[in-house]
Amino acid sequence: MYRILTILLVLFSTTALADNEIYIDQTGSSATINVNQDGTSNRVGSSSADSVSDGATTTMDIDQVGTSNTLDYNIYGDTANITSNITGNSSDIDIDIGTTGGSNGGSDDVDVTINASGGNSNTVDVNVGATSSGVDDVDIDVDISGGSNSVTITEESTATSITDKITDVDITGSTNTVTISKSGASQHDTTLNHTGSSSTFSVTQSGAEASTVDVTTDGSSSSVTITVSD
- In degrees, rounded to 5, the angle at the alpha carbon of residue 31 between the alpha carbons of residues 29 and 32 is 160
How many CB atoms are located within 10 Å of the residue 58 CB? Answer: 27
Dist. CA 50–CA 84, nearest whole Å: 15
Using pLDDT thresholds of 50, 70 and 90, give the confidence band for residue 175: confident
Q: What is the pLDDT of residue 216?
A: 85
What integer is the mean pLDDT of 166-170? 89
Q: Which domain holds residue 38?
A: 3-229
* Domains in the chain, number: 1
**Maximum CA extent, the chain:** 57
Bridge-based pairing of strands 70-76 and 43-44 is parallel
Q: What is the pLDDT of residue 12?
A: 35
Dist. CA 114–CA 12, nearest whole Å: 25
Dist. CA 59–CA 42, nearest whole Å: 21
User: pTM score, two decimals?
Assistant: 0.84
Average pLDDT of the residues of the chain? 82
